[in-house]
């Protein structure tokens, strides 16, 4: 296996994912299909991370003075739109248009960038589940 550079725990767009996005993205897809693609990308991301033994970085918690594992970033619908522009599959204009459509869809359906229903604000980001 090739040595991976440092910082792979924050990396999302591994070549495998980039390849999936490039080959499976189509302009005719609707937002539900965007989420299907996002799920495919996240499955691949989990596989790549497992292969590379990528572990989430630990951070110091002020609540209990211990170290907790942080949560690894996953592909979200908006990060996918950013990637499409970054990889030159999209122009900036197309990117903005998709984002506009997405905001409308998100408001109408109360769906968050992970494709889940929008709930009350979570405490997770302040107090991790492993705390106490």
| Smallest distance, Zn ion to C-beta of residue 64, A | 4
- Cα 48 to Cα 4, 16, 19, 41, distances in angstroms: 12, 8, 13, 10
Subset of 56-115 contacting Zn ion (CB under 5 A): 61, 63-64
Dihedral sign (CA 8, 52, 61, 117): positive
In the complex with Zn ion, the residue whose CB is nearer, 11 or 128, is 128
In sequence order, the β-bridge partners of residue 60 are: 67
Near Zn ion by CB under 5 A, which window of 4-12, 78-86, 114-122, 124-132? 124-132
| Cβ contact 81:102 at 8 Å | yes
| Smallest distance, Zn ion to C-beta of residue 57, A | 15
Near Zn ion by CB under 5 A, which window of 1-9, 54-62, 91-99, 112-120? 54-62
All residues at 6 or more sequence positions from 112 whose CB lies less than 8 Å from its CB, including other chains = 106, 118
In the complex with Zn ion, the residue whose CB is nearer, 31 or 61, is 61
Of 18, 45, 41, the closest CA to residue 115 belongs to 41
In the complex with Zn ion, the residue whose CB is nearer, 63 or 103, is 63
Contacting positions for Zn ion (CB under 5 A): 61, 63-64, 131
């Amino acid at each position: 296996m090739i040595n991976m550079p440092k910082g792979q725990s924050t990396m999302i767009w591994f070549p495998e994912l980039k390849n999936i996005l490039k080959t499976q993205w189509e302009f005719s897809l609707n937002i539900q299909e965007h989420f299907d693609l996002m799920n495919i990308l996240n499955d691949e991301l989990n596989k790549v991370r497992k292969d590379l033994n990528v572990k989430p970085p630990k951070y110091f918690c002020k609540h209990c003075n211990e170290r907790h594992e942080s949560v690894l970033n996953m592909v979200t619908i908006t990060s996918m739109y950013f990637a499409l522009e970054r990889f030159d599959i999209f122009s900036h204009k197309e990117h903005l248009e998709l984002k506009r459509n997405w905001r409308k869809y998100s408001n109408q359906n109360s769906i968050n960038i992970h494709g889940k229903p929008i709930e009350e604000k979570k405490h997770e980001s302040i107090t991790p589940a492993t705390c106490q």
